[in-house]
């Protein structure tokens, strides 16, 4: 006898758990992406001025920039698509040995 539809198969043990793990990983990456983009735009786009925000960051500015760069690298390496406009500084800057940053 020929059947036109395949017989339904039983899911493998653990299949639903693996699917949930994958879904949660995707959701976590998306959440991390959104936070990184928001943080980037808070510095570069919003008031008060960039210089004022960098002054408040003081000697922690370089560390913050490095952490953001590592976050973006991780997300891109994980296959997350991010518009370069959402992580590329719009102006040149100089990182100083004391941890401060000045804008060009």
Q: Model confidence over 55-84: pLDDT tens digits? A: 999 999 999 999 999 999 999 999 999 999
The whole-number pLDDT of residue 3 equals 65
Name the H helices within 1-104: 15-44, 50-57, 61-77
Neighbours of 72 (CB within 10 A): 20
Mean pLDDT of the chain: 93
- For residues 91 and 1, the model is more confident at 91
pTM of the entire structure? 0.81
Neighbours of 67 (CB within 10 A): 13
DSSP-derived 3-state class of residue 92: coil
């Amino acid at each position: 006898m020929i059947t036109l539809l395949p017989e339904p198969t039983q899911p493998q043990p653990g299949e639903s758990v693996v699917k949930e793990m994958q879904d949660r990983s995707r959701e976590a990456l998306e959440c991390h992406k959104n936070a990184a983009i928001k943080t980037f735009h808070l510095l570069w786009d919003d008031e008060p001025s960039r210089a004022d925000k960098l002054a408040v960051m003081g000697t922690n500015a370089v560390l913050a920039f490095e952490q953001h760069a590592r976050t973006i690298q991780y997300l891109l390496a994980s296959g997350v698509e991010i518009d370069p406009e959402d992580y590329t500084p719009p102006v040149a800057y100089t990182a100083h040995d004391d941890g401060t940053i000045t804008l060009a």
